[in-house]
Structure 1
Amino acid sequence: MQALLRRGQVTAEQVTDAERARQSLGARTPLWRALAGTRGVDRDLVFAQAAATYAFRIAPVAEREPEAEFVKTVMESFPDELREELIDLRAAPYAYAQDQPSGILKLVFITEDPMRPELQKAVNALELERFELCYAPAGAVDKVIEEAFPRKNEYLERLAEDSGADFDFGVSFESGDKKLVDEDALEAEIARSSLVNLAEAIFVESVRTGASDIHIWPNANRQTEVHFRTDGRLQHWHTEDRGHPEALLSVIKDSALNVDRFERDMAQDGFIQRKVDGTLIRYRVSILPIANANPELRAESIVIRVLDDRKVVTDLSKLGLLEGALAQFDKAIRQPDGMVILTGPTGSGKSTTLVAALSNVVVPEINVLTVEDPVEYIIPGVRQIKLSHKLSLEGALRAILRHDPDVVMVGEMRDKDTAELGVKLANTGHLTFSTLHTNDAPSAVSRLYKMGLEPFLIAYAINLIVAQRLIRGLCPDCKKANPDPDLIMARELGFSEEEIASTTFYEPNAGGACPNCKGRGYKGRRAVAEALYFSPAIRQAIVEAGDTIDEDGIRELAISEGMLTLQASARELVKRGDTSMSEMMRVTAGEH
């Protein structure tokens, strides 16, 4: 603990938070374990330091990656029960090495937590002549175990066993003008286990593939399409051609709370919960009636948002912001009052950034309130208000003023009334977070002005405006250098001749056999942002605005003070080899 404090890798405040958490976990819990789960703390650093303190070696996995084939070969020689126990304990063989000074060959295991007595007991049960437990980051251990022993989806296995099932239930229609699905025939099909297994398999696989959304809809051939949105792009997962779409859609609707399976003409919203790999996963369901090639049939589309709390980012450094934008953002959210605005289109990661910001300002001594529609992630220590037909955004904001807040997160500022209330909160001693739908940071100033806010209110209420997008990162395991980059595209994206000459441009190795990215060439997304910090010069420029806000003037002034625009930030990522030019073009085309 002291070593981490001396190196500045944790703060005294984080240690205090960890001590509070330890008291709730039980007195026997070591402080360092509680610290590893504290907001803003790098878990890997804590476990590495704990391992070193207890004299466990740190495996050099950065220089020599664990090999899945070795792990599989060695672990398959273990008794089944012990192999499964080691997988559950997230420990894997890493290498054979000579024990010193005996010279006897020993088996080296890697794990995030070599200090656990239960792990020591499990490895002892293998009756090896010599072994050693070493520390390795959880990500490296999990990756090699998943490659060696991919988790089975029991529902997919049941489907495979039932692959010959005849789905001959048909769709019949009642006489008369209303062409309706025969509910009795549909009920008979829903009762079959195959569709239930398919629905459950969808829930499990969406989590394991890291999907953010599930899309289910009938195609023109009356087959049911299932797609997962991974890293921002829809990926085909399955086409169900047995039976009719109504059956699978009905199984999904039956699984959801607050959804009427027999309603096919109205939009509906529902909620599903499942435990996947020991973690509670929430699914937010949206159902819409859609047009069909056959006007006699009523079709529906289902989109399911996968809410996995393990994906919640609480460490600001994990957002992917470049150093300058990260420093400005961290500075702005540490202020006692003022407004921080996130701007960008739907799906640009604004909510993720706001949750990370709130997680970093929550302490027991302050009252943090949010107004959300809907509430997606529960943030410990925050009182989250859900909007409904009985509670509007404006009504919630007015009520919040009487609820003794310190920090407030407002949903999107959609009109003058909500914008004025947000500014009022910021100007009366409250740190306020909100969002706008604009393309860049300077245009957010213009949008607020056009809503009817006075320039001096805008200038002195706001601390920072961050415009952001999400850009896919190249898979670090399989990305390849492009020896012949598109120079016309590079110049179009703002690369100077010097930058072109000094940059190694990388591209995705799509269609390969890389287990890390499943052949997609990209792995994960990160924020690319421009951070407009309200310096005295920026505030003065806004106050002096006449009938219109000079967006270009504000942008040029901010750039002169060190701001990187969206396109400039993306260029930095390309120059570092983190993303490709084609991905930069997709995300920032038309931006400054």
Structure 2
Amino acid sequence: MPQQPENQPQQGSSGMGATPISITPTAQAGIGPELSPREELYQSLLKILHNATDLGIDRVAHGHLEASLTNPGSKQLLVRDLINQKIINRVQLARAFARHNRARELLSILDIPTEAQALRQDIHPRLRSLLRRERIIPVSIKKDEAGNVTDVHLAHDSPMRDLVLETNVREFFPATAVLHWHFSLREVAGAYWMAGESENIDSDMEAEALLDRVITNAIDARSSDIHIDPSIKGEPRAIIKYRIDGFVHPKEVITTEQLERLRVRIENLARMPKVNLNYANKGAFTRSGYDWRVQIQPHAGRLGPVPRIVLRRLQPDVMPLEVLGYPQDFIDKIKSASSSPNGVVFWTGPTGSGKTEAIHSAVVSANPMAKGLSVHTIEDPPEKRVPGYAVQMEIASEDPNRTGLQLLKSSLRADPDVVIFGEVRDSEMAKLVFEAANTGHLVFTTLHTNTAIDAIARLEELGINGFLLSYVRGIAAQRLVRRLCGHCKVPMPEPDDYTRYVFDRYGVPLQGANLFSSNPEGCANCNYTGYYGRIAAAEWLKPTKEIVQASTDRNYADLEDMARRAGWQPMGRMATQHVRNGITDAAELSTKILELAAESLTG
């Protein structure tokens, strides 16, 4: 575990660092009559996590927390195990620690006090740089009548006290000043610092500093991709854009000279081959805790080719299935398929629909590594770095020995139990995947189809039908829909006509629905879009004997009816349940769910 926090927070004059909750050791079953101060702290954290209703603790985690409270072992070690096993996460622990100390929790940019906005420019430039780099918000600085600093309130995302960081911060304040630590989400701190930056970048900024700024801003803005687009009109400038929640937003402008310096720096970092600007180039590098996939395209400028650069941020951590937004019955189906001894599990959907994230979450949920099974991944490029995976191989289509097909053949000769394979693109790949399933392997892979039912027809095109279809343990199809901003969403006392239509279409009852709609003006928290974050809307189909027989007979006329008898429901139903629960609105579904989008286009 990192540096441990002190049990008693320092006191301040502002009331923000109020006296912490007093935890009196109690004699419980299996727990001694006295606890050390540190054990007392972790006992308190376990209680807070167990009793909280707003920290996203699912029922599985709740059960583990309940067991930990009565476990006679070290509470500190129990908390560490809960973190390592991803039963709880660091944000949940940090918020519990803040509550133990009665500290503030800054969960939105709207939670940041007004005085903190002025501090952004008033503090020492070196301190500002340190706080910006570490994503720390200066909440307030209190002074006595003589003008001496007495209390400094800072907000950070770490649950543990970092003595090195605290020492660096103390350099800028008198030795008598008391530091008070509060909690802020990392993205909130990032948004705070981004709000104080100019959109005009100094034309003399060096490539290294520029790249650092662009990547830092992308992370703080929750961006999945960075687009650096040269001017279409041939002007000597390029626009830096960030894709946030599926939409691209322009942010900053740089010169074409900076663009060229940035290209050279990125190519060096990514160890990309030196090619003529008339040709595309690709690579990858690691920076600021993330892997970045690079694609450089030639843009036809007036004076010759100009690079267009796209950086995709690869999330290193695997999120639990519950966090992705699936309901419990859907999660149970995924876990059942992911625990199969052999077979094929498909995820389908367009690019950017969360297929890779879902597949790794499904594998980790079954935790084959803990059962002594060997997990191989073959991707372009590997997007998750999961402890316990035996080997991760990267597809290089330009190298005949590292194509997806060749790496899959190689993997199957290397004694895997579970294989994650990027995408089935042709019949040869499809036949090899099902051959692997037939010989005792469990394969997770993707297809580019719109629905789970379409995947059956696509497999037919790839030569997979009849008996082979019985090896399919499940087919998931999904989209990502935007969540309503929790700070500005508007209550909907009565559903409008379109919302009624959507509920009727998917057979979801309106009674008891907690309906909201997006605020067209938005707020600072959601960057004035009305939406913040995304959630999965999915469907699941497991081929039954009836479907396998229809595939054998090549009779797909009643495939949808057979799918419904197999328990399939269109992803629009799960999406409508999200609307019913106040997570999104029907207007968002009309742009993401295929059949609703088609209807809106045809009127």
Q: Match of 1:543?
A: 549
* Equivalent residue in structure 2 for 1:68, among 100, 109, 113: 113
TM-score after normalising by structure 1: 0.72
Deviations 1:488-547 (A, max 9, x none): 5752675479956765643322444x232121211111211001134xxx2333234454
Greater shift after overlay, 225-234 or 244-253?
244-253
Distance 1:572 1:207 in 2: 30
- SS for the counterpart of 2:345 is strand
* Equivalent residue in structure 2 for 1:370, among 365, 377, 394: 377
Q: Match of 1:427?
A: 438
Q: Match of 2:36?
A: none
* 1:455 Cα deviation from its structure 2 partner: 1.4
Conservation of the 8 A alpha-carbon contact between 1:511 and 1:519: yes
* 1:411 Cα deviation from its structure 2 partner: 1.9
Letter in 1 for 2:573: A
Greater shift after overlay, 337-346 or 67-76?
67-76
* 1:465 Cα deviation from its structure 2 partner: 0.8
Q: Match of 1:216?
A: 228
Cα distance change, pair 39–440 in 1 and its aligned pair in 2 (3 A): same
Q: Match of 1:515?
A: 524
* 1:315 Cα deviation from its structure 2 partner: 1.3
* Equivalent residue in structure 1 for 2:243, among 229, 252, 277: 229
Q: Please tell me the root mean square deviation across aligned C-alpha atoms, in Å.
A: 4.6
Distance 1:216 1:83 in 2: 27
Letter in 1 for 2:407: A
Letter in 1 for 2:295: S
* 1:557 Cα deviation from its structure 2 partner: 4.1
Q: Match of 1:475?
A: 485
Conservation of the 8 A alpha-carbon contact between 2:325 and 2:536: yes
Q: Match of 1:175?
A: none
Equivalent runs, 1:186-201 vs 2, <5 Å = 193=205, 197-201=209-213
Q: Match of 1:559?
A: 564
Cα distance change, pair 44–202 in 1 and its aligned pair in 2 (3 A): closer
- SS for the counterpart of 1:477 is coil
Conservation of the 8 A alpha-carbon contact between 1:313 and 1:352: yes
Distance 2:512 2:341 in 1: 43
Distance 1:89 1:227 in 2: 22
Greater shift after overlay, 449-458 or 476-485?
476-485
* 1:430 Cα deviation from its structure 2 partner: 2.0
Cα distance change, pair 297–85 in 1 and its aligned pair in 2 (3 A): closer
Letter in 2 for 1:265: N
Cα distance change, pair 416–268 in 1 and its aligned pair in 2 (3 A): same
* 1:147 Cα deviation from its structure 2 partner: 6.3
Does 1:41 pair with 2:49?
no
* 1:251 Cα deviation from its structure 2 partner: 4.3
- SS for the counterpart of 2:337 is helix
Does 1:305 pair with 2:316?
no
Letter in 2 for 1:363: M
* 1:299 Cα deviation from its structure 2 partner: 3.6
Q: Match of 1:204?
A: 216
Q: Match of 2:282?
A: 269
Letter in 2 for 1:384: Q
Cα distance change, pair 507–208 in 1 and its aligned pair in 2 (3 A): same
Q: Match of 2:533?
A: 524
Q: Match of 1:280?
A: 289
Q: Match of 1:571?
A: 576
Cα distance change, pair 114–588 in 1 and its aligned pair in 2 (3 A): closer
* 1:477 Cα deviation from its structure 2 partner: 0.9
Conservation of the 8 A alpha-carbon contact between 2:437 and 2:443: yes
- SS for the counterpart of 1:528 is strand
Q: Match of 1:359?
A: 364
Equivalent runs, 1:156-175 vs 2, <5 Å = 162=202
Cα distance change, pair 116–262 in 1 and its aligned pair in 2 (3 A): closer
Distance 1:288 1:117 in 2: 43
* 1:418 Cα deviation from its structure 2 partner: 1.6
Equivalent runs, 1:124-523 vs 2, <5 Å = 139=185, 142=186, 145=189, 162=202, 193=205, 197-223=209-235, 224-240=238-254, 242=255, 247=260, 250-251=263-264, 254-259=267-272, 263-274=276-287, 279-292=288-301, 294=302, 297-309=304-316, 312-360=317-365, 361-364=367-370, 365-382=372-389, 383-388=391-396, 389=399, 390-459=401-470, 461-481=471-491, 487-488=497-498, 490-491=500-501, 494-495=504-505, 499=509, 503=513, 505-512=515-522, 514-523=523-532
- SS for the counterpart of 2:524 is coil
Distance 2:464 2:345 in 1: 16
Distance 2:488 2:181 in 1: 30
Equivalent runs, 1:107-122 vs 2, <5 Å = 116=161, 118=163
Conservation of the 8 A alpha-carbon contact between 2:452 and 2:477: yes
Distance 1:297 1:498 in 2: 57
Distance 2:240 2:556 in 1: 47
Distance 1:218 1:49 in 2: 46
* 1:480 Cα deviation from its structure 2 partner: 1.6
Distance 1:329 1:429 in 2: 19
Conservation of the 8 A alpha-carbon contact between 1:493 and 1:585: no
Conservation of the 8 A alpha-carbon contact between 1:339 and 1:431: yes
Conservation of the 8 A alpha-carbon contact between 2:227 and 2:309: yes
Greater shift after overlay, 250-259 or 340-349?
250-259
Distance 1:431 1:444 in 2: 18
Letter in 2 for 1:521: G
Structure 1, unaligned runs of 5 or more = 17-26, 97-105, 164-191
When the two structures are aligned, how many residues end up with a matched partner? 519
Letter in 1 for 2:593: T
Distance 1:502 1:399 in 2: 54
* 1:393 Cα deviation from its structure 2 partner: 2.1
- SS for the counterpart of 1:590 is helix
* 1:206 Cα deviation from its structure 2 partner: 1.6
Letter in 2 for 1:219: S
Conservation of the 8 A alpha-carbon contact between 1:475 and 1:508: yes
* 1:114 Cα deviation from its structure 2 partner: 6.7
- SS for the counterpart of 1:348 is coil
Structure 2, unaligned runs of 5 or more = 1-41, 51-58, 69-73, 143-150, 599-603
Deviations 1:144-165 (A, max 9, x none): 6556666877xx69x75x46xx
Query: Taking every aligned residue pair, what percent have the same amino acid on both sides?
Result: 27
- SS for the counterpart of 1:412 is coil
